[in-house]
Amino acid sequence: MSETNTRPAGAAPADTLALRRDPRGGWRLAAGLRMADRPGELAGLAAFLAGRQANIERFGYNRSESPFLVRMEARCATAALAGALADDLARQGRLDPPGPEQGAARPEPITTLEGLLAIKATLEDKPGTLARLAEVFRRRGANVIHLAYDGDTAPGLAEITMATDSPDQVSALLADLTAGGWHFHVQWQGADSAAMEAVIGLSAAEHFLFRLRRILPPDRLDRLKALFESSDEMGRVLADFRRQAGADEESMAASGVFSNILHLAAASLGKTGERFSMRLAGPTAVTPAVSLYTLACPTGANGFLLRTADEDVLMDSGFGLYFPDARDWLARHGFDPARIRRAYFTHPDADHAGWAAPLERELGTRVHMHPDCAAVFANSNRAQGTGTRLQALNLAFTRLITRLTELAAPQAIAPFTRGAGDPAEAGGFPVLGGFSVGDVRFLVLESLGGHVAGQVFFFAPEAGLLFCGDYLIDVPSLSERDKSILSVPKYLMTSTNADSRVFSREMAMLRALMRSAQARLAPRGKAARVCSGHGWPYTVEEAGWEPEG
């Protein structure tokens, strides 16, 4: 008999409900069943099936994908018994789609890594075997978060992951399994968070939080947990990010860098308040009237201050969550934040533009960015308007990094205006306009689209000074942690960039631009200087760039 989709009288539509003849004899019922995410639920369902003389042939449950849905196939001796089983499941509400209360519910949270256990177990092929095993789990309060059994492809072998409240419960459960004569092999036992990615059944948020528990102080970790628990959107977006990350090889390469940056952003919570510190370098004389300072927060990108007698002008910044601490730190160290009446940002990534909105809101600072940044903020997508294939991955990443680092959009983005003497292009880049800081004139160069939407560079031809965001990073000056986080050189080659080929071409153009500046300045005993968003500023002479081939 061919497979037949059927629904007993009075039953609500099921996710799947099918009846077919089994080649080995009897009839097989396939169904998607509702199951609560709590200890003992599996034992109850398995005991019910055993009581109906139904032999489980396939059983699949993954809490991280569908916390309230089990996919099952059971074999009964006759079609009548299979039909009666379907009627009983329908009367129990097992075939009903999730109701509003369950659709809005979250799985029971898993709070300790040490209470996790993953095993492979051998099951005898007869009714009631899974029920007896599940009863052992129930007695020890173990909640099954993943179970995979396929009697057709791997008869007698089940993979099971459970969550308990403590290592003692795990030890007691293992002792019970041994005493009961069960044949099993421990695949993973909660202890080493480095092996946690092998655990199936954890939600995306739980994976994320467990990775951070060794580097975040407890109070900051609790704050991050509260963010995920209070926001369904955060959990959904993180799950979307994980799905998109595995879509293909290009997605996996990009997501590796994105994942590092996300964990860096979350870990930054542990560097705020009394744990905050800032590294300050400078002053470096740009001209007799303008000095340059580098501001480095504990994590994220650099900010730069150009100081004149009348004002301080900010060029890029760090994460938004650092702003209150950075503002107070600057005030304690002789920098009045109220002097920052203008701020210029190379691009709208969270680690570079995090202070834009709070500066505008608290101090009335005018925020200057590429006009396309407004659409990036409005759509929460750093790849907005670009041609990258990884729009969905970039969207999920942007939404997560925005919430984790408290990035907000400024109310108004001030335009760049062209001065009478500003050229139409410089170094092959279109010139959007210019501005002056003291006696230093900057040109605003528009990116050709290599990195992200809304990218610009700030270049002072006469002073030989370039602010370039994530371009021309001086890798040797990065800390080992930053090198690992940015996955250099993977960061420079993968689709964390909108177009990596254009990005590479722009890098070459910027190097050529700065070599030309150095050639003009060298006879006067001056040096062209690059201020990248990561690592420390450096001169062209220090970089030792070879001529482009």
Query: Is pLDDT above 60 for 464?
Result: yes
Predicted confidence at residue 120, as pLDDT, reads 93
Query: Is pLDDT above 80 for 282?
Result: yes
pLDDT band for position 225 (50/70/90)? low
Predicted confidence at residue 234, as pLDDT, reads 56
Predicted confidence at residue 183, as pLDDT, reads 93
Cα(144)–Cα(160) distance, rounded to whole angstroms? 7
Indicate the residue type of 399: R
Query: Is pLDDT above 60 for 357?
Result: yes
Query: Is pLDDT above 90 for 28?
Result: yes
Report residue 160 CA to chain centroid gap: 27
> In degrees, to the nearest 5, what angle opens at C-alpha 462 toward C-alphas 448 and 283?
100
Task: Count other C-beta atoms under 10 Å from residue 411's C-beta.
Answer: 10
Segment holding 399, helix H or strand E: helix 391-405
Predicted confidence at residue 115, as pLDDT, reads 85
Predicted confidence at residue 209, as pLDDT, reads 65
| 3-class DSSP state of 14 | coil
DSSP labels, 275-339: G---EEEEEEEEETTEEEEEEE-SSS-EEEEEE-SS-EEEE----GGGHHHHHHHHHHTT--GGG
pLDDT (mean) for 410-426 = 94
Tell me the range of 101-105, 150-154, 474-478 where mean pLDDT is highest.
150-154
Query: Is pLDDT above 50 for 492?
Result: no
* Tokens (6 digits) for 279: 């590294």
pLDDT band for position 499 (50/70/90)? confident
Query: Is pLDDT above 70 for 327?
Result: yes
Query: Is pLDDT above 60 for 370?
Result: yes
pLDDT band for position 256 (50/70/90)? low
Strands 538-539 and 456-460: unpaired
Convert the pLDDT of each residue in 91-136 to its tens digit.
Answer: 888 887 655 444 445 566 676 778 888 899 999 888 888 889 999 9
Contact 297, 318 (CB under 8 A): yes
Predicted confidence at residue 192, as pLDDT, reads 53
Predicted confidence at residue 36, as pLDDT, reads 78
Kindly tell me the sign of the dihedral angle through the C-alpha atoms of 510, 516, 520, 525: positive
Query: Is pLDDT above 70 for 167?
Result: yes
* Tokens (6 digits) for 101: 């209360």
Could you name the CATH architecture of 4-189? 2-Layer Sandwich (3.30)
Who wins on pLDDT, 255 or 409?
409
Alpha helices in 52-197 (DSSP H): 79-91, 100-103, 129-139, 167-179
Nearest to 179 by CA among 128, 124, 139: 139
pLDDT band for position 40 (50/70/90)? confident
Strand partners, 312: 307, 340
Nearest to 529 by CA among 444, 466, 439: 466
Nearest to 6 by CA among 70, 68, 95: 95
Strand partners, 188: 118
Cα(485)–Cα(145) distance, rounded to whole angstroms? 31
440: which residues sit within 8 A by CB, 6+ positions away? Answer: 286, 287, 290, 306, 460, 462, 463, 465
Contact 387, 498 (CB under 8 A): yes
pLDDT band for position 489 (50/70/90)? very low
CATH code given to domain 273-543: 3.60.15.10
Strand partners, 415: none
pLDDT band for position 276 (50/70/90)? very high
Query: Is pLDDT above 60 for 488?
Result: no
Measured between its terminal Cα atoms, the distance across the chain in Å is 71
Render the burial of 463-500: b for 16+ CB within 10 Å, e for the rest: bbbbbbbbbbbeeeebeeebbebbbbeebbbbbbbbbb
Q: What is the mean pLDDT of the chain?
A: 81
CB-hemisphere CA count at 13 Å for 215? 16
Tell me the range of 31-45, 101-115, 329-343, 483-497 where mean pLDDT is highest.
329-343
pTM of the model: 0.69
Q: 81-95, 119-133, 160-174, 218-232: which has the minimum mean pLDDT? A: 218-232
Query: Is pLDDT above 80 for 54?
Result: yes
pLDDT band for position 309 (50/70/90)? very high
| 3-class DSSP state of 254 | helix
CB-hemisphere CA count at 13 Å for 1? 15
* Tokens (6 digits) for 354: 């995090």
Cα–Cα distance list, 282 to 295, 466, 482, 537 (Å): 9, 16, 22, 10
Convert the pLDDT of each residue in 1-26 to its tens digit.
Answer: 333 444 333 333 444 689 999 988 99
Render the burial of 378-391: b for 16+ CB within 10 Å, e for the rest: eebbbbbebebebe
CB-hemisphere CA count at 13 Å for 345? 35
Who wins on pLDDT, 188 or 255?
188
* Tokens (6 digits) for 302: 């650099």
Cα(396)–Cα(400) distance, rounded to whole angstroms? 6
pLDDT (mean) for 536-547 = 84
pLDDT (mean) for 161-167 = 88
In the chain, CATH 3.60.15.10 covers 273-543
Contact 266, 419 (CB under 8 A): no
Query: Is pLDDT above 70 for 441?
Result: yes
In the chain, CATH 3.30.70.260 covers 4-189
